[in-house]
C-alpha cells in the first residue's frame, strides 16, 4: 500500500516521547492540514493495559475487532486532544485488537480520503 505524505511515529514502550514529537511536528507544519491518528493495540493475551493504566475500561469496550473515533474535544491532557491543540485539522483514535490493526487502519483511510 502506497500512502504519500504519511509519517509514522512509534516506539517499543509507552511514555517514550511519541506524542511530544508529534505535537512539535504538527505545530511546525499545521498549515498542511494534518490529520492525526493515535493507535492503541490490544494484546488479548497480555495482562497489562497498553496505555500504562489499570482498569480504565478502554480495552474491554472493544467488543469486536476495533473502534475508531474522532476526537472533537480540546482542553484535556489526552494525547488526541493535544494533537488537536497543536493544530491538527482532525484527530482519530484507533483502538484495535492486534490481529485487526490493518482493518482498523483501512477504515481510517476510508474516512480521510
pLDDT of amino acid 47: 47
- pLDDT score recorded for residue 45: 61
Task: Say whether pLDDT at 3 is over 80.
Answer: yes
Say what percent of the chain tops pLDDT 70.
82
pLDDT tens digits, one per residue of 58-109: 555 555 789 999 999 987 789 999 999 999 999 999 999 889 999 999 999 9
pLDDT at 62: 57
d(CA 35, CA 57): 26
Q: Which residue has the cell 482498523?
A: 104
Looking at residue 39, what is its pLDDT?
Answer: 93
**Residue 22: closest CA among 32, 33, 12, 7:** 7
Amino acid at each position: 500500500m502506497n500512502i504519500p505524505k504519511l509519517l509514522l511515529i512509534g516506539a517499543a514502550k509507552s511514555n517514550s516521547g511519541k506524542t511530544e514529537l508529534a505535537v512539535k511536528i504538527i505545530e511546525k507544519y499545521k498549515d498542511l492540514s494534518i490529520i492525526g491518528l493515535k493507535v492503541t493495540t490490544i494484546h488479548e493475551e497480555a495482562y497489562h493495559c497498553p496505555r500504562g493504566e489499570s482498569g480504565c475500561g478502554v480495552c474491554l469496550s472493544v467488543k469486536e475487532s476495533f473502534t475508531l473515533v474522532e476526537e472533537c474535544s480540546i482542553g484535556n491532557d489526552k494525547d488526541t486532544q493535544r494533537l488537536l491543540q497543536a493544530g491538527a485539522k482532525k484527530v482519530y483514535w484507533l483502538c484495535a485488537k492486534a490481529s485487526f490493526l490493518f482493518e482498523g487502519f483501512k477504515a481510517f483511510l476510508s474516512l480521510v480520503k
